[in-house]
DNA sequence: CGTTAGCACTCATATAAGAAGAGTGCTAAG
DNA sequence: CTTAGCACTCTTCTTATATGAGTGCTAACG
């Protein structure tokens, strides 16, 4: 069944109004408010049609109507008019980004930025380490029989690990070991390096090989850790407590626990990474029960032309999509730009 | 005005019962429950006395009585009988700790442990970096004109910083610079090292000095960051949503925002660091409005005989102090022990 | 045929009035 | 000093009633 032009127009007005006021909209209200030349009775007829199509529903017999998920969907997909951000607004955002220097900080900034502006929860998925490679290993001798292993991943990320060794190594030894490893690693395959080290050990019994082996194992373990999925930065959860539709403390609790659990949210964000541009999950569409009364607006962000993560906003279904969509869009672009600079 | 023995006994029963049931306790209830040989009327008289002394109060005319903050205080200080944990319980706790390896992970474990067992929020203040000293600096040459600076603080903590340099330095140069700095740093005072570097630069125009200067500045900035106070690990906030006394969503929100703001909580924990052994803040005693309807049970924990942090539990005033006190106590000791091993 | 006015009907919400229960304070007696 | 008895106070629950918003349906109108 097709939705007539007038019905669409009416749906649009209804959704907009409901988003603004948060209360079921009746036929009379709708007739009065905008410059509609229709009587409430007519509007009622149209509303009945919309209800038949599952686009709006009445919470109870004698309340007005509110949009259903499908209603929001139609609204967002074809009825919504987004006005791009003002230049001045964009500049304000840019300013906020200009402060931060290291990548982690940029993410945190962006996340709280989103939550502040929108008064909802801002979430940013941190770049997943793409098939990390160790290009460089360095050993630093510390006091006591301890050696600090510095792993340089992908040429910019750094990880430190401390090793307690059975004997003390001289700086010269360590440098030599590092050189050997760095050379071997350009051949890339860890397990090969590891195997040859093991073989060599059986012949020479060189304890320094043991050290190098340990380093290799560490690197390996780092990768496994990376395998198990990313992480995200969340800000402004408490904002969600402010919304009437979240009044049910038990649902709220479940939602917060989901935030802590991270799994579901990450999964959702991950989906959004494959789409391009702003994507919107309304209510149950997300597929996660805890988000039933929430909508999520996301956009992937790119560094050097490649999608490295997703950012978004989580709020009640009744959110100002027209404002959020450009906002999320712009923030994603700014975040990408900021990350480009700090890398 | 002194509190008679019988009054104390009665207060104890009342508090215990209120903690268990969470509802105002009436004279009749109290008379029936325990093996008291007193009639409700007598108990009423005593209760009236207790109320005059400000130890209990009635929410309204015809409800029972509930303890006031002062009542809890007296209860905790002189009436409470704590039963130490069972050996088996201690062993369970120990097991949980045995898993973790690196210090950060131990803290996280302990925090969620506390929150799980108590069904409240567990909080652990991370060791504040005590007047950090840089014992060692290393430079690692990366691709592009980038140099990784590795600062080893206090002999075990490690920080990395990336520098973009104007020209490429050879590994030999970097090693030399590191050696020079490491030697100079044993003389300890940063600003002196910095000044002599500056002076030397004016004469020699050595650009490598610039690199070393940058490293020194970084170290300095690291210390300033440390100055501004510690951080803490929080787990199980969502547990707090379960308690009836936290039903006021707005108070709850404020509390959660305080958790995010961190300042107040840190301040409170800091106070507890100076006391020794388990300390208890009941309701307003903490001095922070957001914690008005909460109690906080804390204990400092030690590494190598020195207090390095505080851990604790945050929950509703009506909490099972008799269970929490030994629990927090033991956890603090176990945490200290665990940290000793991983250092 | 689309549009509109009129009207009966439904249902949430608010208000008031009682009734029940819990618990107290006070008094007087043991 | 302890206790029984009793009037009194408040909360809470239930029930009844009114109010108002909004609908669906029918019939009339252009």
Long-range CB pairs of B109-112 (<8 Å, 24+ gap) are B110/B311, B110/B331, B110/B334, B110/B335, B110/B338, B111/B233, B111/B234, B111/B235, B111/B236, B111/B311, B112/B235, B112/B236
Integer distance in angstroms from CA A94 to C1' C22? 63
Nucleotide nearest to A64 (CA to C1'): D22
CB contact under 8 A, B148 and A143: no
Q: What is the mean pLDDT of residues A100-115?
A: 87
Of B240, B255, B246, B233, nearest in space to B312 by CA: B233
B154 is in which domain, residue-wise? Answer: 134-227
Of B53, B8, B45, B9, nearest in space to B27 by CA: B45
Preferred mutation among B141, B148, B151, B221 to probe A, highest tally of A CBs within 10 A: B148
Q: Which two tokens stand for residue A120?
A: 């909802």
Nucleotide nearest to A63 (CA to C1'): D22
CB contact under 8 A, B160 and A150: yes
- Same domain for A91 and A71, yes or no, is no
CATH, residue A192: 3.30.390
- Same domain for A38 and A93, yes or no, is no
Is the pLDDT at A33 greater than 80? The verdict is no
For every residue of B73-118, DSSP letters joined together read HHIIIII--PPPPPHHHHHHHHHHHHT--SHHHHHHHHHHHHHHHH
pLDDT of residue B157: 73
Task: Please state, in angstroms and rounded to a whole number, the distance separating the CA atoms of residues A73 and A207.
Answer: 65
Residue B158 DSSP SS3? strand
- The single residue listed with the structure tokens 């914690």 is B291
- Same domain for B248 and B101, yes or no, is yes
- In this complex, the residue of B136, B160, B257 whose CB is nearest that of residue A142 is B136
The reply to whether A118 Cβ lies less than 7 angstroms from strand D is no
Residues of A in contact with B158 (CB under 8 A): 148, 160, 162
Residues of B in contact with A148 (CB under 8 A): 150, 152, 158
Integer distance in angstroms from CA A197 to C1' D4? 93
Q: Which two tokens stand for residue A194?
A: 């590891």
Domain boundary among A63, A79, A95: A79
- In this complex, the residue of A143, A249, A260 whose CB is nearest that of residue B249 is A249
Instruction: Specify the pairing of strand A121-125 against strand B294-303.
Output: unpaired
Is the pLDDT at A106 greater than 80? The verdict is yes
- Same domain for A174 and A63, yes or no, is no
The reply to whether A260 Cβ lies less than 7 angstroms from strand C is no
Q: Which two tokens stand for residue A195?
A: 């195997």
The mean pLDDT value of chain A amounts to 87
pLDDT in tens, A79-94: 999 999 999 999 999 9
The number of angstroms, rounded, from the C-alpha of B290 to the middle of its chain's C-alpha atoms is 17
Protein residue closest via CA to C1' of C6 = A41
Q: Name which residue leads in pLDDT, A201 or A296.
A: A296
Per-residue confidence band for A153, with pLDDT thresholds at 50, 70 and 90:
confident
Preferred mutation among A141, A142, A254, A262 to probe B, highest tally of B CBs within 10 A: A142
**Mean pLDDT for each 10-residue chunk of chain B (343 residues)?**
86 95 92 82 94 95 94 96 92 86 84 96 84 77 81 75 79 82 75 77 74 73 63 95 86 94 93 92 94 95 91 97 96 92 67
- Same domain for A123 and A247, yes or no, is yes
Q: Name which residue leads in pLDDT, B150 or A154.
A: B150
Domain boundary among A175, A207, A227: A227
CB contact under 8 A, A256 and B238: yes
The reply to whether A60 Cβ lies less than 7 angstroms from strand C is yes
- Shortest Cα–Cα distance, A54 to chain B (Å): 33
- In this complex, the residue of B148, B156, B256 whose CB is nearest that of residue A152 is B148
Q: Which two tokens stand for residue B193?
A: 């090292």
Domain boundary among B227, B260, B283: B227
- In this complex, the residue of B155, B160, B250 whose CB is nearest that of residue A160 is B160
- Same domain for B111 and B258, yes or no, is yes
pLDDT of residue B188: 65
Is the pLDDT at A310 greater than 90? The verdict is yes
CB contact under 8 A, A242 and B253: yes
Is the pLDDT at A227 greater than 60? The verdict is no
Task: Please state, in angstroms and rounded to a whole number, the distance separating the CA atoms of residues A194 and B204.
Answer: 46
Residue A82 near residue A325, CB atoms below 8 Å: yes
Task: Please state, in angstroms and rounded to a whole number, the distance separating the CA atoms of residues B180 and B158.
Answer: 20
Q: Which two tokens stand for residue B270?
A: 């800091």
Residue B32 near residue B64, CB atoms below 8 Å: no
- Same domain for B249 and B270, yes or no, is yes
- Same domain for B16 and B106, yes or no, is no
- Same domain for B94 and B18, yes or no, is no
Of B252, B260, B263, nearest in space to B294 by CA: B252
Per DSSP, A285 falls in state G
Number of structural domains found in chain A: 3
- Chain D nucleotides reached by a protein CB under 7 Å: 2-5, 9-11, 20-26
- Same domain for A96 and A65, yes or no, is no
The number of angstroms, rounded, from the C-alpha of B213 to the middle of its chain's C-alpha atoms is 37
Residue A140 near residue A171, CB atoms below 8 Å: no
- Same domain for B124 and B234, yes or no, is yes
CATH, residue B116: 3.30.450.40
Task: Please state, in angstroms and rounded to a whole number, the distance separating the CA atoms of residues B197 and B177.
Answer: 11
Backbone φ and ψ of A241, nearest 5°: -65, -15
pLDDT of residue A230: 78
- Same domain for A115 and A48, yes or no, is no
pLDDT of residue B80: 94
pLDDT of residue A12: 95
pLDDT in tens, A45-73: 999 999 999 999 999 998 999 999 999 99
The reply to whether A61 Cβ lies less than 7 angstroms from strand D is yes
Query: How many Cα atoms are found within 13 Å in the side-chain-facing hemisphere of B58?
Result: 14
CATH, residue B46: 1.10.10.10
pLDDT of residue B87: 93
Integer distance in angstroms from CA A58 to C1' D16? 28
């Amino acid at each position: 069944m097709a939705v007539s032009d007038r019905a669409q127009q009416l749906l649009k007005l209804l959704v907009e109004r409901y988003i603004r006021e948060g209360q079921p909209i009746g036929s009379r209200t709708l007739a009065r408010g905008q410059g509609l030349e229709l009587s409430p009775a007519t509007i009622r007829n149209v509303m009945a049609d919309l209800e038949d199509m599952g686009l709006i529903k009445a919470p109870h017999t004698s309340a007005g109507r509110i949009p259903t998920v499908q209603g929001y969907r139609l609204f967002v997909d074809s009825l919504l008019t987004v006005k791009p951000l003002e230049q001045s607004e964009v500049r304000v955002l840019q300013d906020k980004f200009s402060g931060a220097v290291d990548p982690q900080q940029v993410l945190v900034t962006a996340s709280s930025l989103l939550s502040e502006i929108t008064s909802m929860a801002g979430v940013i998925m941190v770049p997943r380490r793409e098939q990390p490679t160790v290009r460089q290993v360095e050993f630093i001798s510390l006091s006591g029989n301890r050696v600090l292993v510095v792993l340089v991943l992908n040429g910019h990320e750094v990880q430190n690990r401390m090793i307690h060794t059975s004997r003390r190594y001289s700086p010269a030894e360590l440098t030599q070991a590092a050189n050997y490893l760095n050379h071997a690693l350009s051949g890339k395959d860890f397990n090969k390096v590891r195997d040859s080290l093991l073989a060599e050990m059986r012949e020479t019994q060189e304890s320094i090989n043991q050290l190098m082996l340990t380093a290799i194992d560490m690197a390996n373990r780092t990768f496994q850790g990376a395998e198990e999925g990313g992480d995200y930065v969340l800000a402004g959860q408490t904002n969600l407590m402010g919304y009437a539709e979240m009044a049910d403390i038990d649902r709220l609790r479940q939602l917060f626990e989901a935030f802590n659990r991270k799994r579901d949210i990450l999964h959702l964000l991950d989906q959004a990474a494959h789409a391009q541009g702003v994507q919107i999950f309304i209510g149950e569409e997300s597929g996660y029960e805890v988000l039933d009364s929430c909508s999520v607006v996301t956009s992937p962000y790119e560094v050097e032309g490649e999608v490295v993560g997703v950012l978004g906003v989580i709020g009640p279904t009744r959110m100002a999509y027209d404002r959020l969509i450009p906002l999320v869009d712009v923030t994603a672009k700014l975040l990408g730009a900021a990350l480009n600079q700090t890398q």
